[in-house]
Structure 1
Amino acid sequence: MDATFIKTGLEHQGYPVYEDDIPYIADMLNLIHQQEALLENFPYVNFEVPITVFDKGVIGWQN
């Protein structure tokens, strides 16, 4: 991710540009792009209901 791209985007939206924040913003944008790529490979992953098993001892089940 290019620092100039991030600075320009922040300026166009009216946000202040802090040079120390640019690497963190770039990391976050890269992470978002990685996760989007995973959803392209598995588009229905969020449609599956996960199976959850509860252990009565862990959740404090009382009889």
Structure 2
Amino acid sequence: MVLAVLPTSTDPSVRSAVLRLSQEFPELGHSVAVVVRTCREELRGSPDGALPELVERLARQRLRVSLG
């Protein structure tokens, strides 16, 4: 998995996922935001309406794997 540090986004799918996943994975700290932004960038061609769920699901899966 390649992580990219992307500029701070005002994308609501990123903000909400970072908030929820930071609470779910507090031990990962700043890494949560990096993973969420990377997932958002990878999903950029997806329909806008599906992005919040897709971003959060993909990021959650990657965060779980990183803890395993």
TM-score range, shorter chain: 0.3 to 0.5
Higher relative contact order (CA 8 A, sep 6+): 2
TM-score (norm 1): 0.36
Report the structure number with the largest CA radius of gyration: 1
Report the structure, 1 or 2, having the larger helix content: 2
